[in-house]
Amino acid sequence: MTQPQPTILAPDPNTRTPAFKLPPKTCDSHCHIFGPHALYPYAPGRSYTPHDAPLADFIALQAKLGIDRAVIVNATCHGRDNRPVTDAIAQSGGRYLGIANVDENFTDKELETLAEQGIRGCRLNFVRRLGNVPELAVFHRLVDRIKPLGWHVDLYFEAQDVPEFVSMLRALPIPYCIDHMGGVRAGPTHDAASFAALVDLLKTDEKCWMKVTGPERITASGPPYDDVVSFGRTLIEAAPDRVIWGTDWPHPNVKAMPNDGDLVDIVPRYTDDAALLQGLFVDNPARLYRFA
């Protein structure tokens, strides 16, 4: 099978060992496996084509960073094919779980099979520039169908769109987890009102979880991401028992590729409270994803 030409950056091959030592059973709660294309072809009609970033590369990255667990999020470039995630889970000895891509064409039996394979939720993308934003009627029907499985819904927004969805999110009958600090932007484009709405939602809705991820997406100044620290600190303080962390490796659709060692070392700048870091890295993801 001919390898398609990538349209996005490749991950940094020179990950440095972070200065901060992660606690045992740290979970990377947002990461991806891409391909290899020869085994898991990228979906027709995808909005981007990644470089292959297979499971073996991810295992090596985890060893370098000191990560024991992971929740692999199936990316849009794989479409409805969730095998990159479920096959990785099957090989992990209980260390990995996953978030699937599903749509209305999945049967109840197919959804149940995914749950048996270690899927704990599904992801829906509300970022308009990436396309395929779900119709709200379809979204609510999917929520009703995944509720009996004990799943939550993983949501990707851009910050300026968050306020229009707040009332809908509060009314959801299942937990939901918002990606990448709600897509807030630092610097002169800072979405102050939208971020305030996001923080209030996190504080006041116990169904709301937040991924304190993506400083490379948020920053206006670049590494070491000084302009992101206040956002991470604010979110952790808002709901210390409902925040989780991840690398977002291999970082699809970023303007500048980060070094994953930097993404570990920024976190102690959000808080130096050992109990809060234990929650962020270990206890909170164990509870949300139901690790054994």
- Residue 173 within a domain: yes
**Is 9 part of a structural domain of the chain?**
no
The two tokens of residue 184 are 């807030």
| Cα separation values, 210 from 19, 53, 181, 232, 242, Å | 25, 25, 6, 10, 6
DSSP bridge partners of 70 = 28, 96
- Tens of pLDDT, residue by residue over 45-103, are 998 999 999 999 999 999 999 999 999 999 999 999 999 999 999 999 999 999 999 99
Q: Is residue 21 part of a domain?
A: no
pLDDT of the residue at 89:
98
Which helix (H) or strand (E) covers residue 245, if one does? Answer: none
- How far, rounded to the nearest angstrom, does the alpha carbon of residue 142 sit from its chain's CA centroid? 19
Number of domains composing the chain: 1
Give the residues across from 3 on adjacent strands.
none
**Using CB atoms within 10 A of its CB, is residue 130 exposed (0-12), middle (13-18) or buried (19+)?**
middle
Quote the pLDDT of residue 165. 92
Task: Specify the length of the chain in residues.
Answer: 292
Sequence-distant (≥ 6) Cβ neighbours of residue 80 within 8 angstroms: 43, 101, 102, 103, 105, 106
Question: Does residue 2 belong to any structural domain of this protein?
Answer: no
Q: How many CB atoms lie within 10 A of CB 4?
A: 14
Q: Tell me what pLDDT residue 132 has.
A: 62
The residue range of the domain holding 102 is 27-289
Which residues participate in catalysis according to the annotation?
A: 248
Residues of the chain with pLDDT under 50: none
| Residue 159: per-residue pLDDT | 86
CATH number at residue 49: 3.20.20.140
